Amino acid sequence: MNVNIVIVGGRLTRDPQLEQVNGKPRARASLAINRKRRSGDDEVVFLDITLWDAIAESFCRFHKKGSTVLVTGRLYQFDGKTPSGDPIKRLNLVADGWEFGGDADKRPSAQPKPQEDDDLAF
């Protein structure tokens, strides 16, 4: 059996970058994922994420450096070369969805503000 489903949560290390690739929106960002070790030390894993199409646009609209986010998707390994010609392998998360993390107080509100009694039309 081959399963490639990933769910990670962390904090963005930079503002997401939105660009057009072959006429499709693509966003790139980097996620810092923290874990406490038994010794009490923190271990941090940095993971590059790529988002496409409408989820890329909405991700960039609502997130910036420092935002906490949950991302679902699949792992993809990029094989390439450094400018000096040395081989390089890089692990990337290609996202198919995202959710807000723990920044509830910083989320944009979809709810309209309630009207004051003085503003009601009756």
Q: What is the pTM of this model?
A: 0.75
75 in any annotated domain: yes
List CB contacts of 68: < 8 A, sequence separation 6 or more: 9, 10, 11, 100, 101, 102, 103
Average pLDDT over residues 81-105: 87
48 in any annotated domain: yes
106 in any annotated domain: no
Q: What letter would DSSP give residue 56?
A: H
Residue 38: which CATH number? 2.40.50.140
Give residue 27's domain range.
6-100
Cα-only R_g, the chain: 19
The pLDDT tens digits for 62-89 are 999 999 999 999 999 989 898 999 999 9
**pLDDT for res 38:** 85
Give me the number of domains the chain comprises.
Answer: 1
81 in any annotated domain: yes
Task: Centre a 10 Å sphere on the Cβ of residue 24 and count the other Cβ atoms it contains.
Answer: 10
